[in-house]
Each structure stands twice: as C-alpha cells, then as structure tokens.
Amino acid sequence: MLVTQQPVLRRFWYALMPMAHLDDGPKPFRLLGTDLVLWKQADGSPVALADRCCHRTAKLSRGFVENGQIVCGYHGWTYDCSGACVRIPQQPDLQIPAGARVPSYRAQEKYGYVWVALEDPLRPIPHFPEDGQPGYRRIFQFHEEWKTSPLRMMENSFDNAHFSYVHKANFGILENPKPAPYEFRETDYGFEAETLVPIRNPPSGHRVTGTTEPITHRHLVNRYYLPFCRRFGCRYPASGVDHIIYNCATPMEDGRMLLVQWLYRNDTEAQCSRQELIDWDAAITAEDRDILEATDFDACIDTTRRMEFHMTSDKPGLVIRRQLMDLLTAHGEVEVHRGNVGLLAAQAAQAAPAGAAAGSAA
C-alpha cells in the first residue's frame, strides 16, 4: 500500500512532534506527502498551514512568528491561523488580493504532541488512560524518521515471533523461538491482544524490569488503533512495574515514516531514571528499525495478491491488513501499490471529463 495514494488516510489524526519543538519558532513537517508549517499561536495552541506562501511560494517554515501569526521570510506577507493573508508590508494601504491565502489543517495538542488531521477526521485521537493518572510519569522517548512504512512498524510491534531473532542480543531467547500465543479481541478502535511472554532479564535490565529474576515475564495488554497507533501495555508481574509505550507511526510519504514513542511508568526517577529508560528502549527500537528498513515498505494489505507467505503468529498483522482493507473498501478505495499505481492514474485520467486536461494545461 502506498500511503500517499489512499485519500482516506488523510482523515485520521497523527502525532507530528513534541509541542516543545515549536517553542523557538515555526517548523516544517511532511505528512502524507503534504508539506506543512507548524507553529504556536498566541494562546499556545498549535496551527498547521500548507508550507507555501501564496506570493512567490517560499516555505513559510523559513519565516517567523509575530503576534501568533506567521510571517513569510521572503517579503513578509503575514498569515493568520486560518491561512488568510492579513498583511502585505510593502503596500499597507492597498487591499489584500481576494483569495490570498494558504490551505489550513486541523491541529491540536494531546499527550504533549502536536497532532494534525489533513481532512475531516473519522475518529478522535485515541484515548490513552495512563496519561495524567496519579502514580504515572510520562517520558518522551523517540521522534525519529524511519525509512519504512507505518504498516511495517505496526505489524512488527504485535509480532511475538521476532523477539528471539531481532532482539537476541537483548531480551530475546534464541533457544526458544516459539512465540507466546495471544488472546485476541477485536474492538471498535482496532484490537486488543493479551499474552504472557518470558524474557531474558540480564543485570543491565534489572532496574527497568524491577526484578533480578534471570528469566522473568511480561504481561502484555497491547492495543492497535486503526490506522497507525498502538499501545505496548507491559507489566512485569514479578515487580508490579508498568512499562507502557504508545507509538504513532506517522506516514510522511511512501517509504518514510516518523516513529513517535512515549512511555508511562508507575515507578520513580530514583528507581529507574528517565535517561536509563530512554537508553534501554533505544537499543530495542534500533534493532527493530534496522530490520524494518531492510523490508519492502510497500507492504501488501490485500492478501489475495499473495505477495507474502504467513505463519500462525502473523495473525495480528493479518487483522491489521483486513481492517485497513475494510477501511479502504468502505470509502470506495482499492489498495494502491507499486504494481497498479500507474494503471490507476491512467484510468483516472481517461475518466476525467473532456477538456479537463486542456483546462489544467492552459
């Protein structure tokens, strides 16, 4: 599936960057092939506009914020939060041309991040119950670009069969490759998958797991939120420590995504510091990234195309594919992939009303 070619994906919220990144001025972001500029308006809430000035196309993200509005760095045309040009400094006494504006998009702050939906959202941002709960601390972990697709990241995160290999230098048990089975429940937001996984617990992980058992367990209550969010709901039963990760695999363009990851822990900084937890998960995340960047980002969601073979433990990835296919079908879309993208474009051009092409070329 080529994410930029499926319009329905524009109708979901995605986490783009921590709000704090906007403290020192506007920032660019490419979401589903669309260039955005993000900034904080006067009340501190985020704004998203197309990153292209309507005067001479300069990127607005190269400009600056003044009184909560964005000023183009080229000639100073100034835009309000709706995208309307409100000031042309060179001719303050003349009327601003009708239609002088840039497209605007929905933006909001949630869980400390800027979230953007390019078109009317089908669902709200998922509810993550640990946020703000007494006893839990929130730790921003990662905000990094991966050269793969969100579907690859999502299926990997529910794949109990890769631990023994990808994470063999870490918590994986190479001698025990048979994955723990999931108890599986489909939900209105996606699904929940519960399991108990044995892991190696080397001394370097004792403060993370809260136990010194050489082999310990993770009780996982993982959740998938259509299309590209997930919860890694981990409790170490031996210690009662929760290590609950949320991810948004934000689609930037085909073959590029942003891994957004933050963590909730129910222990204290003295028991395991923020930096220890970042370092611990960084090693694991790097292992996943390394192998996922070695896969084909154009992951097939229509399994009738038979592009890949499957095994029993691939069930979560197959349910993700089915739910994505159902989403496309419900919105009149077929899966667009490298094998049909040119064909579909040619069909669309043929179906376009006569004169459309001449009109656009004029």
CB 186 within 8 Å of CB 319: yes
CB 260 within 8 Å of CB 183: no
Number of Cβ within 10 Å of residue 8's Cβ equals 17
Q: Which is nearer to ligand FES, 67 or 350 (CB)?
A: 67
Q: Which is nearer to ligand FES, 53 or 244 (CB)?
A: 53
Q: What is the 3-state secondary structure (H, E, C) of 136-194?
A: CEEEEEEEEEECCCHHHHHHHHCCCCCHHHHCCCCCCCCCCCCCCCCEEEECCCEEEEE
- The entry of ligand FES, Fe ion, none that residue 77 binds, CB within 5 to 8 Å by partner kind: ligand FES
Q: Which is nearer to Fe ion, 72 or 259 (CB)?
A: 259
- The entry of Fe ion, ligand FES, none that residue 263 binds, CB within 5 to 8 Å by partner kind: none
> Which residue's CB atom is positioned nearest to Fe ion?
288
CB 87 within 8 Å of CB 70: no
Burial 45-84 (b: 16+ CB within 10 A, else e): ebbbbbbbbbeeebbbbebebeeebbbbeeebbbbbbebe
Q: Which is nearer to ligand FES, 76 or 198 (CB)?
A: 76
- The entry of ligand FES, Fe ion, none that residue 74 binds, CB within 5 to 8 Å by partner kind: ligand FES
- The entry of Fe ion, ligand FES, none that residue 267 binds, CB within 5 to 8 Å by partner kind: none
Helices (DSSP H) in the chain: which residue ranges?
150-157, 163-166, 206-209, 274-292, 315-330, 341-351, 356-361
Binding piece for Fe ion, criterion CB under 5 A, among 101-109, 127-135, 195-203, 284-292: 284-292
Q: Which is nearer to ligand FES, 75 or 305 (CB)?
A: 75
Among residue numbers 57 through 76, which ones bind ligand FES (CB under 6 A)?
58, 72, 74-76
- Report in angstroms the alpha-carbon separations of 77 from 58, 87, 101: 11, 6, 10
- Between CA 336 and CA 1 the distance in angstroms is 5
DSSP 129: T
Q: For residue 132, what are its two tokens?
A: 């703000």
* Contact between 298 and Fe ion per CB under 5 A: no
* Contact between 77 and ligand FES per CB under 6 A: yes
**Smallest gap from residue 77 Cβ to ligand FES (A):** 4
Q: Which is nearer to ligand FES, 90 or 304 (CB)?
A: 90
* Contact between 324 and ligand FES per CB under 6 A: no
User: How many residues at the interface with Fe ion, by CB under 5 A?
Assistant: 1
* Contact between 288 and Fe ion per CB under 5 A: yes
User: Which residue ranges make up the site for ligand FES (CB under 6 A)?
Assistant: 53, 55-56, 58, 72, 74-77
User: Which residue ranges make up the site for Fe ion (CB under 5 A)?
Assistant: 288
